[in-house]
Amino acid sequence: LYHGDGHGWIEVITGVMFSGKSEELIRRVRRALIAKRRVQVFKSALDDRYAGVRTISSHAGSDVEAVPVRSSREVAEKVVPGTQVVAIDEVQFLDDGIVEVISALADRGVRVIVAGIDMDFRAEAFGPMPMVLTVAETVDKLHAICVLCGNPATRNQRLVNGEPAPYEGPTIQVGGHEAYEARCRGCHDVPR
């Protein structure tokens, strides 16, 4: 944990799908609640893996809902005065404006925790992530386990009908009939 005193900061949790980014984000939020901090949690509305809102509860008795957002502006509008910790999951789906929004929050003393996938299925930078990583005080890059060989996985393998998806496909395929696997560099396949 970063120990800057008297100002805010930005913590990024990044890595491939299934690497435990959400688990780590929730863990940090729970601990902030135990510390009785005032916390707001957001997640990109594009991520429909979970129906409705997820509630993060703590043994300290406070609950916090992950509020779905569609844009960086929505985050800026929904943060209320007095909030000490802002957490955002699936930040790779948000627009580039998120960099300014989280920077402004940190400047005014807020601890910002964001989780996001660093690379798309082509192993290229995902949305605003390069700039988010750049402005952060701390970055933790998590690994999953490669489903083919068991090595640490860093890459998202997109499969369409069980076959590696070609390079030309869209970065985000909402409601597509595709699947994703965590794979290592050696097992990752993007046919051109």
User: Residues with catalytic annotation?
Assistant: 90
Euclidean distance between the first and final Cα of the chain, in Å?
A: 42
How big is the site for Zn ion, counted in residues (CB under 5 A)? Answer: 6
Closest by alpha carbon to 32, among 62, 71, 3, 12? 62
**Interacting residues of 101 by C-beta distance below 8 A, sequence separation 6+:** 72, 73, 75, 76
SS3 77: helix
Nearer Cβ to ligand ADP (20/97): 20
Nearer Cβ to ligand ADP (17/67): 17
Strands 9-15, 138-142: pairing kind: parallel
Nearer Cβ to Zn ion (72/154): 154
Binding mask 125-154 for Zn ion (x = CB under 5 A): ---------------------x-xx-x---
Distance in angstroms (rounded) separating the CA atoms of residues 106 and 121? 30
> Closest distance between Zn ion and the C-beta of residue 144, in Å?
11
Tokens of 146: 């490669």
Residue 29's binding partner out of Zn ion, ligand ADP, none, with CB under 5 to 8 Å set by partner kind: none
> Closest distance between ligand ADP and the C-beta of residue 147, in Å?
5
Where do contacts with ligand ADP occur on this chain (CB under 6 A)?
17-23, 144-145, 147, 182
Choices 31-39, 69-77, 86-94, 183-191; region in contact with Zn ion by CB under 5 A: 183-191
